[in-house]
Structure 1
Amino acid sequence: MVIVFAVLALAVLVAANWYLWRRLFRDTTSGPGRGRRVGVAVVAGGWLLAIGALVGERTGAPFWLQQTLAWPGFLWLALSIYLLLGVVAGEVVRPLLRRFLERRDRRKAPVAAVAVPQPEPVPAGPAPEEPAEPASPRLLAAPSRRLFVSRVVGGAAAAAAVGTVGYGTYGVLRGPRVKRVTVPLAKLPRAAHGFRIAVVSDIHLGPVLGRGFAQKVVDTINSTQPDLVAVVGDLVDGSVKDLGPAAAPLSRLTAPAYFVTGNHEYFSGAEQWVEEVRRLGLLPLENARTELRHFDLAGVNDIAGESEGQGPDFGKALGDRDTTRACVLLAHQPVQIHDAVEHGVDLQLSGHTHGGQLWPGNLIAEAANPTVAGLERYGDTQLYVSRGAGAWGPPTRVGAPSDITVIELASRQA
């Protein structure tokens, strides 16, 4: 089944890229030549860079090579998505534009027929041969009209894709914006009313987003003056050796900070990263709980840790707690909400989804997660999902802006 799925996926990918090349390069050129060869080089070269970036990241290739491949490769991934969407949308515009041009040409045709040339005197001699009947102006115009339509539609699709990816990349590099949400907890005492938790997830430090981006995240968190910082997974995409300096700004967080693993930590050496964030001053919650003054704060490992015998253990983190106290749980993936409900958690803080990151990726995220972004209630338990501060793969977001969320806890006794 895996082989069949891989073959089908490869066939779809090849067909989609052939269609993209056809609409953007073959149909916009008058014949075989340099333009079409450039198109082949762009499409094939873009995917070679993208595959190289993905493989290099997962196999731990030399970091300089990852950085070299990441920018062009990952940006091509995003650009190809919106180029494909653009040319598909162009199929609706194409016949409408062609029909408009045909009607315009028909309106002009009678005007051109008014000017009838006067016959000239024929000199004596043999009768001249009858000139061949000219081809229909409409037939002569058809190839050029098709070429014009293809160029207009292809150019518009390319401009829209480049603009979309450019703006989405700027949004990521600019840094996350602060979002504020008030969450009432029935068990929270009056003294804790207004307690602020800065939730940050999915920073994804790696070959694209480095130390400068981490510093922006830290500065943004500190500017909100939270009482507590919750880093809920997917901090990095790479080893401590390569990304330790990039994560160093986390030591400048001014509020007590807690950390739980995400799935990407298990691709990057989770044990080493747990020790590194501890060295930076964060407290890892590995299936553990700490009793704060007014409520319990717990954390569980990510589901991806199960392959290493380090998966989530809700019993260990929550089994013996005082259930009369409010409990806030840090868990990377929203799907862990069902276990949280069973263990009487009041609020779960998660990330993982990126809000879909690249529209229409939100549709896929909605199929795989109970909540993609925002606050929802599951029985007596509330779940808040952050869209994340960074981005994985393409450093681009479309329709899913990055955020750092300040959760303000509210007591119903206040």
Structure 2
Amino acid sequence: MVFGLVLTLAVAGVHYYLWRRLVRGTTRPGRARRVLTWSLVGLGVLVPVTLVASRSGFAHWLAWPGFLWLALMFYLVVFLALLEIPRGVAVVLLRRKTPVVQALTVPPAVQEVDPAEPDLWSRRLFLGRATAVVAGVGALATVGYGISTALGAPVVEPVRIALARLDPRLSGLRFAVVSDIHLGPLTGRRHTERIVRMINELDADVVAIVGDLVDGTVAELGPLAEPLKDLQSRYGSYFVTGNHEYYTANGPGEWMAELERLDVRPLRNERVEIVHRGAVLDLAGVDDVTGRPDFERALGGRDRSRASVLLAHQPVQVAKAAGYGVDLQLSGHTHGGQMVPFNLIVPMQQPVVSGLATIDGVRVYVTRGAGFWGPPVRVGAPPEITLAELTHEGGL
């Protein structure tokens, strides 16, 4: 209820700001203003309805218009905010021509230009409309670019990761890492088929799917996940839960069974041994923080003289992984921010936005994800499939 109230207030505030700049600032009182006002009210209602519908599994037909408006709304606010300073300067220059008595008696925030002053009306309308056009073109261009990026093929990001405890015989072991595929109402089977095809072309030793595979039930999305059965690697495909697996109507259990049917092994607070060239690597996986991650069960009692790789959906889980001597954590969750400037907000919640970092002595690689959540838009964070090659630190 608290989240719903905060969301409602935020959406109302944003749409009021858009009304001030895009409706009140561009029209005279009359029919056109009324039509635009009610249209904006409808779009404002569409945002929370779409978010609720996407979580509840109904009214999927709302997904495209609802999420596209959410992205466009966001970038309209960004561009309008950037234009506030030049607009403010122009408003000050215009007010010099406003009658002195009116300027002294009516607060600027609620001043309306006297219709009897057509010259001043035309100047203010021109300013408002010019601002709206610039913001609208900027937002549309950004969202258009973001859609083509989000719906396009993921970028393959090769990365070499040196680990001090890695047995030299394990050097060259390669992980194909993918996360945040987000099968849902805006993706199709071809989205999964393309990801599987690209992973298979990498000829990896291990495939790691680090959470947020689905946004719905097996009944809804089973056919979209079916191509995962064609994943190919030397030592198997593994999966750990993300937070969205816990948002599905039936919980994550049914998807774990479905993935096993597709020959993708879930690691639910457990570990396996990867034997390569006679050397052993511990590969562990823990549930997302939304569930019940059990680091002791997954990592306790192991031989710490050999290297370990942990699959954990959220980068923040490295705080506990460090206490178990984990050498490398592979994560997703952040989407790399998905839409600039959200990449500047992610560090408030996660220690790494994307790429390779060292946290508390643990190497952490965060992939940007191969899909999207919410708006089918990616700006500044293209979808990614990672090819992580392990190397012995002393061999570099």
Q: TM-score normalised by the shorter chain: which range applies?
A: 0.7 to 0.9
AA paired with 2:343?
N
Residue in 1 that maps onto 2:339: 358
Match of 1:200 among 153, 174, 178: 178
Residue in 2 that maps onto 1:280: 262
Q: Structure 2: which 5+ residue stretches go unaligned?
A: 97-116
Deviation of 1:31 after TM superposition, in Å, equals 3.1
Residue in 2 that maps onto 1:231: 209
User: Aligned equivalents of 2:295 and 2:230: distance in 1?
Assistant: 31
User: Aligned equivalents of 1:388 and 1:242: distance in 2?
Assistant: 22
Q: 1:350 to 1:148 in 2, by over 3 A?
A: same
Deviations 1:101-130 (A, max 9, x none): 999xxxxxxxxxxxxxxxxxxxxxxxxxxx
Is residue 2:34 matched to residue 1:53? Answer: no
1:6-405 paired onto structure 2 within 5 Å: 7=5, 10-34=8-32, 36-61=33-58, 65-66=59-60, 68-96=61-89, 140-255=118-233, 256-268=236-248, 269-293=251-275, 294-305=280-291, 311-405=292-386
Contact 2:11 2:44 in 1 (8 A): no
Contact 1:50 1:72 in 2 (8 A): no
User: Aligned equivalents of 1:232 and 1:300: distance in 2?
Assistant: 10
User: Aligned equivalents of 2:263 and 2:296: distance in 1?
Assistant: 26
User: Aligned equivalents of 1:395 and 1:410: distance in 2?
Assistant: 36
User: Aligned equivalents of 1:410 and 1:364: distance in 2?
Assistant: 32
Deviation of 1:23 after TM superposition, in Å, equals 1.1
* 88-97 vs 154-163, greater mean Cα deviation: 88-97
Deviation of 1:219 after TM superposition, in Å, equals 1.6
Contact 2:353 2:366 in 1 (8 A): yes
Secondary structure of 2:158's aligned partner? strand
AA paired with 2:323?
E
* 139-148 vs 337-346, greater mean Cα deviation: 139-148
AA paired with 2:87?
R
Secondary structure of 1:303's aligned partner? coil
User: Aligned equivalents of 1:12 and 1:284: distance in 2?
Assistant: 38
TM-score by length of 1: 0.84
Contact 1:189 1:413 in 2 (8 A): no
Contact 2:307 2:327 in 1 (8 A): yes
Q: 1:8 to 1:295 in 2, by over 3 A?
A: closer
Contact 1:237 1:265 in 2 (8 A): yes
Deviation of 1:8 after TM superposition, in Å, equals 5.6
AA paired with 2:34?
R
Deviation of 1:95 after TM superposition, in Å, equals 4.3
AA paired with 2:338?
Q
Q: 1:8 to 1:102 in 2, by over 3 A?
A: closer
Secondary structure of 1:145's aligned partner? helix
Deviation of 1:141 after TM superposition, in Å, equals 2.4
User: Aligned equivalents of 1:42 and 1:140: distance in 2?
Assistant: 27
Deviations 1:136-178 (A, max 9, x none): xxx6522111111111110110111111111111101012111
Kindly report the root-mean-square deviation, in angstroms, between the aligned alpha carbons of the 2 structures: 2.1
AA paired with 1:187?
R
Contact 1:50 1:69 in 2 (8 A): no
Q: 1:8 to 1:215 in 2, by over 3 A?
A: closer
AA paired with 1:333?
Q
Residue in 2 that maps onto 1:120: none
Deviation of 1:48 after TM superposition, in Å, equals 2.9
Point out the structure with max Rg over C-alpha.
1
Deviation of 1:11 after TM superposition, in Å, equals 3.5
User: Aligned equivalents of 2:359 and 2:94: distance in 1?
Assistant: 57
Runs of 4+ in structure 1 over 6 Å off: 98-103
User: Aligned equivalents of 2:328 and 2:218: distance in 1?
Assistant: 31
